[in-house]
């Protein structure tokens, strides 16, 4: 080996050591590739070159010098195989870019990619020494390239993990918050903020189905058009998230509004709401995991919204129950606590209030030692309003019956008072009569009430004379009255429609016929026995069926 040769080898070695130090000092892939290229180009006086790495089994240019941009992007799709250099497309590409030599970059894990370099400026071909030098450089490079690729992958995996952790955090935080909020609007807002923050979306809507009514809770789309479009298809059929392409195909109206993703909010497999999202500002599509995440938050939110609704309902029900309890109390206090004892009459009454509390009313008022007033009425409506109107009529009745007016005129006055005291279409069916224990005269007026039955000698006479129901309009036609002289063993049965309209399991009514027949059958008994028998029959008939109206019966028997 002569001196000149020695110096050349030494210089090569120094260059190699320097090169090795340099590329192994960095984990930046671009820096490493750039240096490999520059070193080769400088060493061999080459003006063009590229490094293509194997990415997903195909080669892709990751660093280059002197290759036009278009050609970087349009690198032919080739796999490294035994004959890849024979690929026609690849060959054309190389000659077009005047790349004359290709070298494989081999690491312990296999081929990582290729290095291509162009012609040398001095037009000399590469000699054996050059080849060896190049292969040495690529060998040194291979492990550095491999390491930096691994680091990049690790970084990506880490970032991916960070993203997942971040999503889990969001889910966790929201589930906590959803438990605390009281209004569905607030929950929906929280839901949407989390979603738009997570996915960089600026157009969105939350739609909730409540008692089959569509409610748009939050919307940055045109609200009118959205609700019009939503109404055109069946909400319940959306049971899976709908991606962009499917919206375009099946729901063009929504697609035109800019909706690119619809995610149902489901509770026990029932769609209770929809989350609609516009495009992501980053122009990325929603991935499967993105959609799963949105679906999870949506489900969390709808549970919270549904719970709030149920809570509200329970609260209202409780309020209603309390109100009914009050009404029941008022009603009980208005009915006579005890029935006076008479020499010639035997009077018994029963009042069974239904769960909803109707407005049945009856009264027995002592006017003087011979005269009594008997009344029965049914106030329309239920609950507290009915109970209050009942209190009204009791007050009027107790005052008016003591004024010595004739019963027709008195009924007219009561009607006028009730009419001016009711506004919302409430009315009262009412029957009342004045009873004289001395001469057994009974004078009555029937203002639209179910006609009481006068039973004499096994025959029924209905006490129907009177006029219109109370509370509908001011009195312009005087009420008619009728006087009956009662006889021994006469029975008068006063009742409300809760009796004849009592229902059984098959929704059949107890009916007037059945009731009248019973009254006839038991008319020989005392009034209290009669009521007891009739009550048993009604119970037998209804057999525990829920009754929507009060049941009231008052029976007077002449003894």
Partner 1 sequence: MAEFSTSTKEVGEISIIYLKGYLDAHTAPTLENTFSNLIEKGKYRTVVNFNELNYISSAGLGVFMAYIEKIRENNGDIKLSSMSEKVFNIFDLLGFPLLYEIYQTEEEAVNKFIESKSFEK
Binding residues (CB under 8 A) for partner 1: these are 159, 162-163, 166-167, 169-170, 173-174, 176-177, 180, 189-190, 192-202, 281-282
Our CB check for partner 1 shows the closer of 170 and 348 to be 170
Closest separation in Å from C-beta 201 to partner 1: 7
Residue with tokens 């293509």: 52
Closest separation in Å from C-beta 280 to partner 1: 9
Closest separation in Å from C-beta 279 to partner 1: 12
Q: 128-178 vs 29-44: helix axis angle to the nearest 10?
A: 170
Closest separation in Å from C-beta 173 to partner 1: 5
DSSP label at residue 90: H
CB half-sphere exposure, 462, CA atoms < 13 A: 11
Closest separation in Å from C-beta 157 to partner 1: 14
**CA–CA dist 81, 542 (Å, integer):** 90
User: Considering only CA atoms, which of 544, 558, 555 is closest in space to residue 350?
Assistant: 555
CB-CB contact of 118 with 47 (8 Å): yes
Between CA 353 and CA 362, with CA 358 as vertex, the angle to 5 degrees is 75
Residue 271 DSSP SS3: strand
End-to-end CA, the chain: 154
Between CA 26 and CA 35, with CA 32 as vertex, the angle to 5 degrees is 120
Residue 399, beta-bridge partner list: none
DSSP label at residue 180: T
Number of other residues whose CB lies within 10 A of the CB of residue 272: 23
Our CB check for partner 1 shows the closer of 172 and 233 to be 172
**CA–CA dist 470, 419 (Å, integer):** 7
Our CB check for partner 1 shows the closer of 197 and 340 to be 197
Closest separation in Å from C-beta 266 to partner 1: 21
Closest separation in Å from C-beta 187 to partner 1: 10
CB-CB contact of 100 with 119 (8 Å): yes
Task: Report residue 356 CA to chain centroid gap.
Answer: 29
Number of other residues whose CB lies within 10 A of the CB of residue 66: 15
Closest separation in Å from C-beta 551 to partner 1: 55
Closest separation in Å from C-beta 390 to partner 1: 49
CB half-sphere exposure, 290, CA atoms < 13 A: 17
CB-CB contact of 337 with 311 (8 Å): no
Q: 184-199 vs 288-334: helix axis angle to the nearest 10?
A: 170
Our CB check for partner 1 shows the closer of 48 and 167 to be 167
Closest separation in Å from C-beta 247 to partner 1: 21
Strand order in the sheet with 345-352: 345-352, 551-558, 491-495, 453-456, 459-462
DSSP label at residue 251: -
In terms of phi and psi (left: phi > 0; alpha: psi -120 to 50; beta: otherwise), the region of 394 is alpha
User: Considering only CA atoms, which of 172, 164, 184, 166 is closest in space to residue 301?
Assistant: 184
Our CB check for partner 1 shows the closer of 195 and 447 to be 195
Closest separation in Å from C-beta 84 to partner 1: 37
Closest separation in Å from C-beta 507 to partner 1: 51
**Radius of gyration, alpha carbons of the chain:** 48
């Amino acid at each position: 080996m002569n001196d000149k040769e020695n110096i050349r080898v030494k210089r090569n070695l120094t260059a190699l050591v320097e090169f090795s130090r340099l590329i192994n000092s960095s984990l930046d892939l671009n820096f490493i590739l750039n240096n490999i290229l520059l070193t080769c180009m400088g060493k061999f006086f080459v003006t063009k070159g590229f490094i293509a790495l194997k990415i997903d089994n195909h080669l892709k240019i990751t660093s280059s010098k002197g290759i036009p941009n278009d050609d970087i992007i349009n690198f032919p799709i080739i796999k490294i195989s035994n004959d890849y250099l024979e690929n026609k497309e690849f060959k054309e590409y190389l000659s077009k870019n005047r790349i004359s030599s290709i070298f494989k970059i081999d690491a312990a894990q296999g081929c990582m990619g290729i290095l291509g370099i162009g012609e040398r400026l001095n037009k000399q071909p590469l000699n054996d020494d050059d080849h060896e030098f190049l292969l040495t450089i690529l060998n040194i490079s291979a492990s550095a390239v491999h390491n930096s690729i691994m680091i990049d992958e690790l970084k990506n995996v880490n970032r991916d993990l960070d993203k997942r952790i971040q999503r889990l955090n969001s889910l966790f935080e929201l589930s906590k918050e959803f438990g605390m909020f009281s209004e569905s609007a607030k929950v929906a807002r929280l839901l949407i903020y989390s979603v738009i923050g997570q996915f960089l979306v600026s157009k969105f809507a939350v739609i909730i189905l409540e008692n089959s009514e569509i409610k748009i809770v939050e919307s940055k789309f045109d609200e009118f058009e959205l609700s019009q479009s939503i109404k055109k298809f069946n909400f319940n059929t959306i049971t899976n998230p709908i991606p962009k392409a499917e919206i375009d195909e099946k729901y063009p109206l929504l697609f035109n509004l800019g909706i690119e993703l619809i995610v149902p909010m489901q509770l026990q497999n029932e769609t209770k709401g929809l989350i609609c999202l516009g495009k992501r500002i980053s122009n990325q599509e929603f991935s499967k995991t993105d959609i799963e995440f949105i679906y999870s938050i949506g489900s969390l939110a709808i549970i919270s919204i549904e719970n709030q609704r149920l809570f509200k309902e329970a609260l209202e029900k409780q309020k209603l129950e309390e109100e009914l309890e009050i009404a029941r109390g008022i009603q009980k206090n208005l009915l006579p606590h005890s029935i006076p004892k008479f020499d010639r009459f035997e009077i018994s009454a029963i009042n069974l209030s239904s769960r909803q509390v109707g407005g049945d009313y009856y009264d027995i008022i002592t006017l003087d030692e011979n005269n009594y007033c008997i009344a029965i009425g049914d106030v329309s409506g239920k609950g507290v309003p009915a109970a209050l109107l009942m209190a009204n009529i009791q007050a009027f009745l107790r005052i008016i019956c003591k004024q010595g007016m004739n019963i027709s005129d008195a009924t007219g006055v009561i009607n006028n008072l009730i009419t001016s005291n009711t506004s919302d279409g409430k009315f009262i069916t009412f029957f009342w009569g004045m009873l004289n224990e001395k001469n057994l005269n009974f004078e009555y007026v029937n203002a639209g009430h179910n006609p009481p039955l006068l039973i004499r000698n096994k025959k029924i006479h209905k006490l129907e004379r009177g006029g219109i129901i109370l509370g509908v309009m001011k009195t312009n036609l005087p009420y008619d009255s009728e006087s009956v002289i009662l006889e021994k063993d006469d029975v008068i049965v006063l009742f409300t429609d809760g009796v004849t309209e009592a229902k059984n399991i098959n929704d059949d009514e107890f009916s007037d016929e059945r009731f009248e027949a019973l009254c006839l059958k038991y008319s020989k008994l005392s009034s209290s026995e009669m009521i007891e028998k009739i009550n048993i029959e009604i119970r037998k008939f209804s057999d525990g069926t829920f009754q929507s109206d009060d049941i009231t019966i008052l029976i007077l028997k002449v003894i």
